[in-house]
Amino acid sequence: MTFQPIWPWWIMVPLVLAVAGLPAWAAVRRRPGRVDFRGGFLPAALVPLLLLASLRPGLPGGSVRGAAADLNVFFVVDTTSSIAAEDYGNGSRRLDGVRKDIIAIAGELPGARFSMITFDSQAVLRMPLTTDASALDTLTSVLEPQVTVYSTGSSVTVARTLLNERLKAARDSHPERARIVYYLGDGEQTSGKAPEPMRVDASLVNGGAVLGYGSGPGGRMKEKAGYSSADDAGYIQDRGSGSAGDAVSRIDEDALRQIAGQLGVPYVHRAEGDAVAPMMQTAKPGVLKETSESLEGRVELYWVPALGAFFLALWESLRVLRQLRQLRPAKTEVRQ
């Protein structure tokens, strides 16, 4: 029999001993010379059964074949103020769609190595290549737009140098792994001059897609007053000549298509509710590869103590209900 506890052993062992031992000892001590079987041991057995289930006992048996995506996946994410525009779905921010798609893509590529580069006024490597999908989830969940007062205009291709460096490093260290690039943004250029070409060597990119967020009518953007997600202020104002009121950001799909052509990947517009699978097929990120060796299978037995705990809890509940019924005050007849 094998165990795969949901917590580390150094937590499980003392917890099991404490929970199993202390209630039993208290039940014996409660009435010297007499063990309170129903009121002590049986209720106290409920927690040890649950703890045993949490140890996840099992028996070796059968085999399964492993599958993994032997890929290096690079997310290039727009974090300029415009990514906060509220024209994704029913008034949601474009960033909400970006977050959903990153997590969904990672879920479709188990075993892949993920890296993230964000860009606003400058490009920053937020996470080097790693197989830790939970780290990617955490980083994605805390992504926020650039603080508004620091925004001095941005280029949609400002990440080109950093992306090239990371792609070349990945190729040099593991040339056998395909390199996939997902560029997520709205294509809005605010630096005041035309964006420079991405200039990414075609041999460095084996697949991926440019994913566009936003709409033609555009959306307003909340100001970002600080680094906390709770630091939102009012809406960004349009301070251009002859303009007044809230600024509106609009997607530039022509710019996004141009970036896609320079990377050699397709462009896909993303809206709320769009499925991920068709986009993944268009991006051609590769397929899961079966490993050449079989992995040992396992028959789970955690359900046995869990089932025992269920019936014990049911029995105890019925016993308590009977006791409560006995405590009801008897009806008294009123004589005149």
pLDDT category of residue 157 using cuts at 50, 70 and 90? very high
Contacts 24+ apart (CB under 8 A), 172-176: 174/72, 176/70
Would the pLDDT of 42 be above 80? Answer: no
Higher pLDDT, 291 or 58: 58
pTM flag (> 0.85): no
Would the pLDDT of 204 be above 80? Answer: yes
pLDDT per residue over 119-130, tens digit each?
A: 998 999 999 999
Would the pLDDT of 64 be above 90? Answer: no
Convert 19-72 into a string of H (helix), E (strand) and C (coil). HHHHHHHHHHHHCCCCCCHHHHHHHHCHHHHHHHHHCCEEEEEEEEEEEECCEE
Cα(168)–Cα(188) distance, integer angstroms: 27
pLDDT per residue over 169-195, tens digit each?
A: 999 999 989 999 999 999 999 877 888
Average pLDDT for residues 281-294, to the nearest whole number? 61
pLDDT per residue over 249-275, tens digit each?
A: 999 999 999 999 999 999 999 999 999
Q: Taking the domains of the chain in order of start, what are their residue ranges?
A: 2-63+297-326, 70-287
% of the chain with per-residue pLDDT over 90: 41
Looking at CATH, the fold of the domain delimited by 70-287 is given as: Rossmann fold (3.40.50)
